[in-house]
Amino acid sequence: MKVTVDDDRCCGAGSCVLVAPEVFDQREEDGIVLVLDESPPADRHQSVREAAAVCPTSTISVAEDAR
């Protein structure tokens, strides 16, 4: 899995941080999303998918590994 964000679209809602705090954080100055782990381990994939789904501005993109 590869996680990317479009920080220009982020509104700072923080939903991603609530769902997957080990993968996402927010900048102190404006609340814009930060990716802490662009390639999270398999045990975090479901929470990352959920974070992407609940993002109000569809800022988070998830590319699944091809197997």
Name the nearest CA neighbour of 19 among 61, 40, 49.
49
Grade residue 65 by pLDDT with cuts at 50, 70 and 90: confident
CATH number at residue 20: 3.30.70.20
Residue 54 has pLDDT above 80, yes or no: yes
Name the nearest CA neighbour of 9 among 57, 50, 48.
57
Domain containing 40: what range? 2-63
> How do residues 32-45 score in pLDDT, each as one tens digit?
999 999 999 999 99
Helices (H), 1-67: 15-19, 45-54
Total structural domains within the chain: 1
> How do residues 2-34 score in pLDDT, each as one tens digit?
999 999 999 999 999 999 999 999 999 999 999
Angstrom distances, CA of residue 44 to CA of 3, 14, 17, 39, 59: 11, 18, 13, 10, 18
